[in-house]
């Protein structure tokens, strides 16, 4: 099993989760983070650290967010690993709890 970053991370990109990951399984895109399911050890340390509450255990991903399971897997193959905390997007607080953000995902 793995953990999955979902829609609420889009245009926020808080990196608090990266700081606690013991295996460096996060990958960074222009405005979103993903978890590499092949590297994730299911430790659950990242989930409570996410200020946007965008990380779920794979078996707890909400029904309307299921496409993010495959999206994390696919994007982790092409995006670089992120191992250090970075500042979130400048307008992250404005975007944090908005829904319907998939259209804003930059690949």
Mean pLDDT of 15-34: 97
Report the pLDDT value the prediction gives residue 30, as an integer from 0 to 100: 96
Q: Give 41-97 pLDDT, tens digit per residue.
A: 999 999 999 999 999 999 999 999 999 999 999 999 999 999 999 999 899 999 999
- pTM, entire model: 0.96
Please say if the pLDDT value at position 11 is more than 90.
yes
CA distance 33 to 5: 7
Cα angle: 93, vertex 73, 25; to 5 degrees: 70
CA distance 92 to 16: 13
Domains of the chain are: 3-81 (3.30.70.20)
- Are the beta carbons of 51 and 96 closer than 8 angstroms? yes
Mean pLDDT of 1-7: 95
CA distance 84 to 65: 26
CA distance 61 to 22: 22
Report the pLDDT value the prediction gives residue 1, as an integer from 0 to 100: 83
């Amino acid at each position: 099993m793995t953990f999955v970053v979902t829609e609420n991370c889009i245009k926020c990109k808080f990196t608090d989760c990266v700081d606690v990951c013991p295996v460096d399984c996060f990958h960074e895109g222009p405005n979103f983070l993903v978890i590499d399911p092949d590297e994730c050890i299911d430790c659950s340390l990242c989930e409570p650290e996410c200020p946007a509450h965008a990380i779920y255990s794979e078996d707890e991903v909400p029904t309307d967010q299921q496409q993010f399971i495959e999206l994390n897997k696919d994007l982790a193959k092409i995006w670089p690993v992120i191992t250090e905390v970075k500042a979130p997007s400048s307008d992250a607080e404005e975007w944090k709890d908005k829904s319907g953000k998939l259209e804003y995902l930059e690949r």
